[in-house]
Amino acid sequence: MTLRKAVLLGASIAAAGLALASTAQAQNEQFIPGLIYRTGAYAPNGIPFANGVADYYALVNERDGGINGVKIVYEECDTGYATDRGVECYERLKNKGPTGAAYVNPLSTGITFALTEKAPIDKIPVISMGYGRSESRDGSVFQWNFPLLGTYWSAADIIMQHIALKEGGFDKLKGKKIVLVYHDSPYGKEPIALLEQRAKMHGFTFTPMPVTHPGVEQKATWLQIRQNRPDYVLLWGWGVMNSTSIKEAAAVGFPRDKMFGVWWSGAEPDVRPAEGGAKGYHAAMLQHGAGQFGVHADLKKYLYDKGKGSAKWDEVGEVLYNRGLVNAMLGVEAIRKAQTKFGKKPLTGEQVRWGIENLELSAARLKELGFDGMLQPLKVTCSDHEGTRAGRIQQWDGAKWVVVSDWYQSDDTVLKPMVNAAAKKYADEKKLTVRDCSKES
């Protein structure tokens, strides 16, 4: 083939491809982007989450024919947990569908920080369920951010409450040594402020120990822990870092039942690689745990029995899969709420933002959706973008996660002033105008 022919052929293939891609889109569709990762160091945790999200959207389409008749169109983009790649994915997907992206789930604290700057300009809300910046729960400053179900400050507070309860009260923590092994990124650094505050209040020594991305090399950190002999180790890891930490703890003989992971360090892929070494390890729960509930029966009936599920059936009901379901459900319910005000049609990000801010899920509604037993009722308001601050602690018994505590509520007398101060600082730095939440219904 001559060069000219090859060029011509290439050009015509490209033209045909572009023509295919730009075929007319149906109008009654709600577009939702999915920033996920199925590759890279964080894939073991990213995949089950992504499967859960995809399955729930598919279920809503299959079972209900969409949200009040508006079909969900969902498109994934692999970020690899890298911030610049995540921003690229967001820019690529934000204008798709008839009304653009309804909302975005960054699934990375670093990407959440970057999108926080873009959200008010693009008018697309950011749902960072159980992650993101802790002060963004203050909706008067962070209008477009929704760290639903709990921030890292809530998570750290719940773990500290559990430890205090085991020790017999916060006053018993005096003189104890607590170490935080954290992923050296915005994600891992988030809880430090709260833990420092608690350390000041109760007189324990708090030592943060960073682990660099991706976290497979932690020998030095755990050697230090063996020398320091802390009373408790908190773990803020993700992906392979979690299982490595647990294995290293076993190697240096740090008792696993004195180790507490955040809710991103408490899933099956974190403990299984450590095999026997993980037995006794604790982790916080973002409300839900593992297991199958009402919604899973529907998933089986409408998706998995027809071979349409994205995971294997025995992975359905794992912690991160369930978290994907919860994440997608909250988004869908927010759109449903927004439809009550703006009509049953595809909505813009700005309209969906109203839906999230006024989202309220009662116990009865959760039961209807098949999420009873996984979530507690929640109510989002202008001043509280978190919705609820409840959590429990679970323990790995060597084969499965067992819930070992009652419900805790993070202590707002500690958190609220910190949130307000941090949010105010952000608003001042960025010279933002702050909304008055008391004037909004």
Partner 1 sequence: MLAVIVAAFLAVPMVASPYLYTEILIPFLILSLAAIGLNILVGYCGQVSLGTGGFMAVGAYAAYNLWLRVPELNNLIVVFLFGGLMAAAVGILFGIPSLRIKGFYLAVATLASQFFLDWLFARVKWLTNYTPSGSVAVGKLEVFGWHVDTPADRYLLILGIVVVGTLVAKNLVRGHIGRSWMAVRDMDIAAEIIGFRPLRTKLTAFAVSSFFIGVAGAMWAFLRLGAWEPLAFDINRSFQILFMVIIGGLGSLVGSFMGAAFIVLMPILLNQLPGWFGIRMSTALLSHLEFMVFGAMIVFFLIVEPHGLARLWAVAKEKLRLWPFPH
Provide the binding-site residues for partner 1, judged by CB under 8 A: 13-14, 16-18, 20-21, 36, 38-40, 43, 47, 50, 76-78, 80, 83-84, 87-88, 91-92, 95, 109-110, 113-114, 116-118, 121, 133-135, 184-187, 189-190, 192-193, 210, 213, 422, 426, 429-432
The Cα 89–Cα 214 span in angstroms is: 21
Cis peptide before 214 (omega within 30 of 0): yes
Least separation in angstroms between residue 116's CB and partner 1 is 6
Report the residue number, 54 or 129, with the smaller CB distance to partner 1. 54
Report the residue number, 406 or 429, with the smaller CB distance to partner 1. 429
The Cα 107–Cα 118 span in angstroms is: 16
Report the residue number, 190 or 333, with the smaller CB distance to partner 1. 190
Least separation in angstroms between residue 151's CB and partner 1 is 11
Report the residue number, 154 or 287, with the smaller CB distance to partner 1. 154
- The amino acid at residue 418 is M
Closest alpha carbon to 242 in 222, 223, 216: 216
The torsion angles phi and psi of 44, rounded to 5 degrees, stand at -55, -30
Least separation in angstroms between residue 228's CB and partner 1 is 19
What burial letters (b/e) apply to 181-206, b meaning 16+ CB within 10 Å? Answer: bbbbbbbbbbbbbbbebbbeebebeb
Compute the C-alpha angle 366/369/372, nearest 5°. 40
Least separation in angstroms between residue 291's CB and partner 1 is 26
HEC assignment per residue over 366-391: HHHHCCECCECCEECCCCCCCCCCEE
Report the residue number, 43 or 361, with the smaller CB distance to partner 1. 43
DSSP three-state, residue 76: strand
Least separation in angstroms between residue 220's CB and partner 1 is 14
Least separation in angstroms between residue 80's CB and partner 1 is 7
Least separation in angstroms between residue 236's CB and partner 1 is 11
- Angle of helix 83-93 relative to helix 109-122, nearest 10 degrees, comes to 30
State the first-to-last Cα distance of the chain, in angstroms, to the nearest integer. Answer: 70
Report the residue number, 8 or 364, with the smaller CB distance to partner 1. 8
The Cα 187–Cα 72 span in angstroms is: 30
Report the residue number, 57 or 371, with the smaller CB distance to partner 1. 57
CA dihedral 166, 169, 174, 177 (to 10 degrees): 20
Least separation in angstroms between residue 211's CB and partner 1 is 12
Report the residue number, 89 or 225, with the smaller CB distance to partner 1. 89
DSSP three-state, residue 260: strand
